[in-house]
């Protein structure tokens, strides 16, 4: 499995590229196989010495580990990971066939305020606010749970969000 080879290569660059592939990976079998190796993957990543220039990349690696942990521990659809990260562009997710965009709400008739979309796997619905400072980022919020079809109330962003956002702005 080439991704596993890269994730256990103990090489910062290869690990980072593979981590970005994991971010977009939807193949359940491949995800499950990687999740089984999670402890080994973590061990290898612990051996990498990341210099300061790699701090920004490390967040991508952390997200890949977080996703594999989710696959290993939870039966929840992987779309719930949209709530834990701010780099999922709904237009790109729709292009890849992961979600359907139900509605695009514009501000002043031209700027995107938010999207409403639905996961093609489980039917959960999300409202996604588009934001831009020095880079674009997206805040996903759960609107409707797939199973119960009832409105849910979750905080718009995880608590750690502010820290990671300012860290990222500082680095990129
Ligand atoms: Zn889903």
pLDDT band, residue 150 (cuts 50/70/90):
very low
Ligand 1: centre distance to CA 79 (Å):
4
Residues within 5 Å of ion ligand 1 by Cβ?
Answer: 77, 79, 119, 121-122, 124
Report pLDDT digits (tens) over 112-135.
999 999 999 999 999 999 998 888
Report pLDDT digits (tens) over 76-92.
899 999 999 998 999 99
Q: List the domain boundaries for the chain.
A: 1-75, 76-172
Is 165 a residue whose pLDDT tops 60?
no
Given this model, what pLDDT does residue 147 score? 61
pLDDT band, residue 163 (cuts 50/70/90):
very low
Ligand 1: centre distance to CA 123 (Å):
6
Q: Does residue 108 contact residue 91 with C-beta atoms inside 8 Å?
A: no
Q: Sheet containing 111-119: which strands, arranged edge to edge?
A: 99-107, 111-119, 125-132, 136-144
Determine the length of the chain: 172
- In the beta sheet, which residues pair with residue 107? 111
Q: What mean pLDDT do residues 155-167 have?
A: 39
Given this model, what pLDDT does residue 11 score? 93
pLDDT band, residue 4 (cuts 50/70/90):
very high
Task: Output the six-digit token pair for 20.
Answer: 């970005």
Is 3 a residue whose pLDDT tops 60?
yes
Given this model, what pLDDT does residue 109 score? 85
Given this model, what pLDDT does residue 130 score? 92
pLDDT band, residue 146 (cuts 50/70/90):
confident
Element (H, E) at 59: helix 55-73
Please spell the DSSP secondary structure of 38-57, one letter per residue. HHHHHHHHHT----GGGHHH
Report pLDDT digits (tens) over 13-69.
999 999 999 998 988 899 999 999 999 999 999 998 877 777 678 888 999 999 999
Ligand 1: centre distance to CA 9 (Å):
31
């Amino acid at each position: 499995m080439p991704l596993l080879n890269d994730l256990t290569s103990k090489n910062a660059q290869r690990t980072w590229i593979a981590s970005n592939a994991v971010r977009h990976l939807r193949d359940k079998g491949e995800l499950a196989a990687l999740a089984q190796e999670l402890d080994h993957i973590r061990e290898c990543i612990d051996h990498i010495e990341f210099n300061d220039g790699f701090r920004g990349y490390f967040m991508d690696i952390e997200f890949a580990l977080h996703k594999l942990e989710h696959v290993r521990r939870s039966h929840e659809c992987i779309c719930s990971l949209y709530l834990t990260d701010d780099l999922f562009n709904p237009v790109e997710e729709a292009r890849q066939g992961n979600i359907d965009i139900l509605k695009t709400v514009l501000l002043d008739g031209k700027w995107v305020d938010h999207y409403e979309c639905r996961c093609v796997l489980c039917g959960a619905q999300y409202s996604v606010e588009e934001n831009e400072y020095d880079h674009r980022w997206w805040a996903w919020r759960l609107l409707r749970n797939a199973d119960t079809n009832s409105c849910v109330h979750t905080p718009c962003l995880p608590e750690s969000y502010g820290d990671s956002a300012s860290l990222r702005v500082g680095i990129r």
